[in-house]
Amino acid sequence: MKDSVIIVSGGMDSITMLYEFKDRIALGISFDYGSNHNAREIPFAEMHCKRLGIPHITIPLDFMPKYFKSSLLEGAEAIPEGNYDEENMKSTVVPFRNGIMLSIAAGIAESHQLKYVMMANHSGDHTIYPDCRPEFVEAFSHATKAGTFVGVEILAPYTNISKADIARHGKALGIDYSETWSCYKGGEKHCGKCGTCRERKEALKEAGIEDTTEYED
């Protein structure tokens, strides 16, 4: 039964979730919030939703670059290179981004009489992004359930697994990860040097997946 909307970015994690839970997903939602890589990843979200016969919408959040401070909203040169860890990636945090997106998605879910909003956070995000942590997901789910007539809840089944674990799910599902986007710099190709590119490489390697991503390096 179709009972969920999914926040789908076009990256490895949300595309894996899209395929894994396709039978219950009624709508895919992407958000264009002015990041360096939105223009690169959202077309993948659209493509995969279309491939699966799942309706897809993109919602503009063009106020965010005007009022929010984050290197993710400041151009490719502002994105740090190096490991995917708290010290290196903290500048890429867009304050309360997931809270804003989940609020909108919960409203859309209730408008369609759907019970769940799915998000594809994972354990590697916890130390970097506050709005990816288990306690945030749990608290926000309580809020959406209390604040909607249909009792919308947040489903985040990847919260406590790694990106490599997600890639293993994708491998079993036959997903071609070259049809996803990770690089925060948002160039013509993945830069291969920023934290999200390095995280992508490591996850695919650990999962035993040949990395056919085109990298600049």
* Interstrand relation of 25-32 and 153-155 (parallel, antiparallel or unpaired): unpaired
Alpha-helix runs per DSSP H in the chain: 12-20, 38-52, 64-67, 86-89, 97-111, 134-146, 163-173, 195-206
Rounded to 10 deg, the angle between the 38-52 and 12-20 helix axes is: 10
**Binding-site entries:** 8-18, 183, 191, 194, 197
**Binding-site entries for ATP:** 8-18
Which residue carries 């493509």 as its tokens? 47
Starting at the edge strand found earlier in the chain, the sheet holding 56-60 runs 56-60, 25-32, 4-7, 116-118, 153-155
Alpha-carbon distance 148 to 114, whole Å? Answer: 11
**Binding-site entries for Zn(2+):** 183, 191, 194, 197
Alpha-carbon distance 156 to 193, whole Å? Answer: 28
